[in-house]
Amino acid sequence: MAVTIGGRRLILAASALAAALGLVSPAAAAPAQPVEYVNLGDSFSAGSGVYPVVPMAVSQCMQSERNFSHIVAQELGYHLTDVSCGGAKTEDFYAPQHPGTRAQLDALTPTTELVTLMIGGNNNNTFGGAMASCIGAMITRPGALDPCRAQYGASLSEPIETQTYPALVKALGDIRAKSPRAQIVIAGYPWLLPASGSCAPQMPIAPGDVPYLRDLQATLNDTVRRAAQETGATFVDMSQVSEGRDGCKPVGERWIEPMLFATQPVPVHPNADGERALAVEVLKAIGAGNAQTG
């Protein structure tokens, strides 16, 4: 509506006038801003290997448009800033990982309301190093039941407690400091291997080393859980829902692609079904967190 006062023409928005007259509340007159949502983390968080990739993302990060954070943002109508990147360690929260990237924590602001992440599997080369070590042990000692366990014992898991755990506590604490209003949701890793049995040939690991590597992953997931508990973050436990969905299962059942005969370019990582499963569990955690704080 337009009125003229003293020769000056004033334009009054109909919604503002209605609010002034008490016809609508000021809150109803202004559209709500979407929730600010930031996703951090490594290749499991980025959905590396699941096509299509985010067009403007740094190519080395292999960030997928179908990773769990994109599904969550679409489902809830949140405004997503996704800085997850394949190969990320907690140290990449503090410095650029590749040319064209930034320190992941730089994406956080005081008004960020939700942060999700998966991190820790690349610290000390936990996943990649353990898989390589166990494949090498099988090659050098063919026919042995558990050559990797025999050769490495507890040495592969010890750095998880002594180095990864404090790094996770620091990272989660620094997220809280940067975004004190945010709900922080950190997911554990879905099972890569079954509890026992042979995975050959798709996972070339000696039968006795399958539970050995499974125990290593259980140690890492428990470390993530404890770090979340210490810092007030929400932990998403993927162990129960991903049972029977490991990389040894056939196409259509598995959420993790195997090392050999994978259907995507990044093996031993979640496929599209795995990322959707992560999204489902993260959505449950977000709902539970909102219920507790509401």
Active-site choice (43, 64, 84, 133) = 43
Distances (CA, A) of 42 to 67, 103, 118, 166: 11, 13, 6, 18
Helix axes 272-293, 68-76, angle to 10 degrees: 50
pLDDT of residue 289: 58
- The amino acid that residue 169 corresponds to is V
DSSP of 157-171, one letter per residue?
A: THHIIIIIHHHHHHH
Distances (CA, A) of 97 to 54, 57, 103, 104, 256: 17, 13, 7, 9, 25
* Residue among 47, 193, 82 at smallest CA distance from 127: 193
Active-site choice (45, 69, 133, 269) = 269
- The amino acid that residue 37 corresponds to is Y
pLDDT of residue 28: 52
Condensed to tens digits (0 to 9), the pLDDT of residues 271-293 reads 999 999 999 999 999 996 565 54
- Looking at the chain, how many residues does it have? 294
> Could you say which DSSP state residue 240 is in?
T
Q: Where are the domains of the chain?
A: 1-31, 33-293
- The amino acid that residue 266 corresponds to is V
> Could you say which DSSP state residue 33 is in?
P
> Could you say which DSSP state residue 125 is in?
G
| Residue 155 is a catalytic residue | no
Helix axes 209-231, 165-178, angle to 10 degrees: 30
pLDDT of residue 128: 96
Chain Cα centroid distance, residue 151: 32
Distances (CA, A) of 109 to 170, 176, 181, 282, 294: 18, 10, 10, 21, 22
Give the fold, CATH level 3, of 33-293: Rossmann fold (3.40.50)
Alpha helices, DSSP H, located in 141-261: 147-152, 158-159, 165-178, 209-231
**pLDDT by residue, tens only, the chain of 294 residues:** 443 334 333 333 444 434 444 444 544 545 578 999 999 999 999 999 999 999 989 999 999 999 999 999 999 999 999 999 999 999 999 999 999 999 999 999 999 999 999 999 999 999 999 999 999 999 999 999 999 999 999 999 999 999 999 999 999 999 999 999 999 999 999 999 999 999 889 999 999 999 999 999 999 999 999 999 999 999 999 999 999 999 999 999 999 999 999 999 999 999 999 999 999 999 999 996 565 544
pLDDT of residue 7: 39
What is the rounded distance in angstroms from the CA atom of residue 37 to the CA atom of residue 107?
10
What is the rounded distance in angstroms from the CA atom of residue 21 to the CA atom of residue 14?
11
- Vertex 169 angle, CA 167 and 173, to 5°: 115
What is the rounded distance in angstroms from the CA atom of residue 72 to the CA atom of residue 80?
9
- The amino acid that residue 18 corresponds to is A
Alpha helices, DSSP H, located in the chain: 14-20, 26-29, 43-46, 68-76, 126-140, 147-152, 158-159, 165-178, 209-231, 272-293
| Residue 43 is a catalytic residue | yes
> Could you say which DSSP state residue 107 is in?
G
